[in-house]
Amino acid sequence: MIGWAAIKRFRARGDETYGFARRNIASERVASDEVIDIAEDRLHIADLADYQAVREAVSTMDAVVHLGADPRPDADWKQILESNITGTRNVLEACRETGVSRVVFASTIMVNWGYWEDEPYTSVREGTFAGDPADLPVITHLDPPRPMDHYAASKVWGEAMARVYSEKHGMSCLCIRVGGVNAEDKLINPAYAAIWCSQRDIVQLIERCVDAPVSLGFDIFFGMSGNPYCWVDYRRAGEIVGYVPRDGAEEME
């Protein structure tokens, strides 16, 4: 879903784009009326656990946006291990070997899910928070991650590996903690209003990360729209890479 939205944006501005997928059919997350149109010679069909296939796919790229993962909170450990752990290592190592200087890694807001169990964030989720949004304590990239399942924990590991490759190998590895993006491209569940993100906003942040100066070695950004009760620091991405969300949950209900 996000990958195809990003490809359309990069195509529109004239960039050569390529895709990598485990199968050549749309994910269940893609809108039913969306037609994915990627030429066969620009789409690599393989599993992220296949290192040689990953290496071949990235070998001529200038930048790689790594969105592939099993996103199910209830996914079994074997699938998480192959897709999210081994797969992420393979992408980073293949990029290192082939000289790709910029990797954008899709993390998730779910690495901060544990904060939802604390006040005032529980009240925000339940729609009972009565305070001024400006007084809401904001979670930043410097606050400890609080994953609640194997999927989210695998993304914490992915962020750590991105830092390894930045610090040790001089690559630029930027991580985006993606918010509640959905196929309908509107707020469906009011509980997610604070961390919802439109498709065009997440694509804008991906684009800003791809275009950021290579001197920006490592960072973590929150991929949220401009939601009034957002409890994570999405504004910092504007300060560092120029991201300015165009949407907000209240206007997209």
Of the pLDDT bands very low, low, confident and very high (cuts 50, 70, 90), residue 22 is confident
DSSP codes, 77-122: HHHIIIIIIIHHHHHHHHHHHHT--EEEEEEEGGGGGGGGGSTTHH
- Please name the fold of domain 2-252: Rossmann fold (3.40.50)
Q: Model confidence over 90-104: pLDDT tens digits?
A: 999 999 999 999 999
The residue assigned the tokens 């992420």 is: 88
From CA 106, how far away is CA 214, in angstroms rounded? Answer: 18
From CA 225, how far away is CA 140, in angstroms rounded? Answer: 16
Of the pLDDT bands very low, low, confident and very high (cuts 50, 70, 90), residue 253 is very low
Q: Model confidence over 117-176: pLDDT tens digits?
A: 999 999 999 999 998 988 899 999 999 999 999 999 999 999 999 999 999 999 999 999
Find the mean pLDDT for residues 214-243. Answer: 96
Tell me: pLDDT of 209 over 70.
Answer: yes
* Catalytically active residues, by annotation: 151
Residues 6+ apart with CB under 8 A from 130: 123
From CA 82, how far away is CA 69, in angstroms rounded? Answer: 9
The percent of the chain in helix, strand and coil, each rounded to the nearest 5, is 45, 15, 45
Instruction: Quote the tokens at residue 95.
Output: 């990029």
The four Cα atoms 182, 184, 187, 192 give a dihedral, to 10 degrees, of: -20
Tell me: pLDDT of 229 over 80.
Answer: yes
Q: Model confidence over 68-77: pLDDT tens digits?
A: 998 888 888 9
